[in-house]
Amino acid sequence: MKKLISILLAVLMFVPLAACESDKAQEEGKSEATADVESAEQTETETISAETDITDGTGGEDTEDPIDEGLFNITLEETVVVDNEECLIKILGAEYNEYFGFSMKVEIENKSADKNYHFDIIPAAINGIHVSASISNTLSPGRKSTKSIDFITDDLDKLGIEYYSEVMLNFIVYDWDSYDNEYIVDEAVTVYPYGEENAVRYEREDVENDIPLTDNENFEASVLGFEYDEESGSYNVQMYVKNKSDVTLVFMAKDVYLNGKYFEIGYSEIIEPGIISFTPMCWLSKYLQNSNIDPQAIGEIKFRLVAYDVDDMRGDGIYSESFTLNP
């Protein structure tokens, strides 16, 4: 069940109505399925307005300061995540490059005799913040490959976070040719590039302009601001969601109305226990304009925020509440 949910939500995140600013680099790189992390990071250029600042005032400013030499002092050793009769997943190490920043490499191997296995990462987090990461690769029987993990770290950049001291990766493997809903591998691992004793998790302080939605026993959610991004051609509602539970949660915005016009789901996110997500609700301007909505003149947003346990997606889940926002 989790396989089907994860794949469907991954697809939802890439359909136009769910396109979001933090996925911009993925959209630009879809034609380069094997692009490495260096080229992915080079193509990421975006700004954030003061109205949608996700920081707490402690970082995020561009500077010309010299590179902190400590960033190069990575001590991560080879880590075997999975090694069984079906496949091998081994983290080979990590490095910090003066020009391209942080990167990791992983070795994957399909040990099966007659099955095509697809390897990927869903989800991932750095310093307790959800990020997009991928090794998307399908291997035929007996084949192996060394892959760079493609990270999209826009939110970390905005927060001024340079030291990736805690990296959580959930590796998945499934039979590419099967409709079975079960993963062959669904294994999370947390590694500490600078040593576990130096790991630091991000904690955000409330900002005066935050719009709190809920703070219950399972999760906390707020709206941090609104923005029309001309570069990506999208209207964004910047979200902050923290999973406080001990299970993986799936979040969706349903029954969405913008200026009284109905839209499909504009938000879907899988968040692991203890992880923070800044992924925005987002709608491309061309679809807004098709509904005669000026993306720079949205005055009312109505939606129902729904949260599910990833293993039980029935009904209204563990939480369902409607909200009206007036940007």
Q: Concatenate the DSSP letters of all residues of 76-108 into one string.
A: PPPEEEEESSSEEEEEEEEEEETTTEEEEEEEE
In single-letter form, the type of residue at position 51 comes to E
pLDDT bucket at 285, cuts 50 / 70 / 90: confident
Mean pLDDT value of segment 144-153 = 93
pLDDT bucket at 53, cuts 50 / 70 / 90: low
Is the confidence at residue 66, as pLDDT, over 70?
Answer: no
Is the confidence at residue 69, as pLDDT, over 60?
Answer: yes
**248 neighbors 307 (Cβ within 8 angstroms):** no
The topology under which CATH files domain 211-325 is Immunoglobulin-like (2.60.40)
The pLDDT mean for the chain works out to: 83
In single-letter form, the type of residue at position 120 comes to D
Cβ-based neighbours of 324, under 8 Å, separated by 6 or more: 300, 301, 302
Cβ-based neighbours of 123, under 8 Å, separated by 6 or more: 130, 133, 170, 270, 271, 272, 275
The topology under which CATH files domain 55-198 is Immunoglobulin-like (2.60.40)
State pTM to two decimals.
0.78
Quote the DSSP letter at residue 280.
P
Look at 89 and 283; give whichever has higher pLDDT. Answer: 89
Q: According to the model, what pLDDT value does residue 266 have?
A: 76
- Percent composition of the chain: helix, strand, coil (DSSP 3-state, to 5): 15, 40, 45
Percentage of the chain exceeding pLDDT 70:
79
Is the confidence at residue 223, as pLDDT, over 60?
Answer: yes
Is the confidence at residue 32, as pLDDT, over 80?
Answer: no
Q: According to the model, what pLDDT value does residue 56 have?
A: 53
Mean pLDDT value of segment 122-149 = 95
Mean pLDDT value of segment 9-34 = 43
Stretch(es) of the chain classified as CATH 2.60.40.2550? 211-325
Q: How far apart are CA 210 and CA 325, in angstroms?
A: 12
Closest C-alpha to 134, from 119, 144, 117: 119
Hey, what's the torsion of the CAs at 119, 122, 124, 129, to 10 degrees? 160
Q: According to the model, what pLDDT value does residue 286 have?
A: 85
Q: According to the model, what pLDDT value does residue 263 have?
A: 85
Is the confidence at residue 159, as pLDDT, over 60?
Answer: yes
Other Cβ atoms within 10 Å of 315 Cβ, number: 9
Give the best-scoring range by mean pLDDT among 105-114, 260-269, 281-290.
105-114
Mean pLDDT value of segment 49-56 = 47
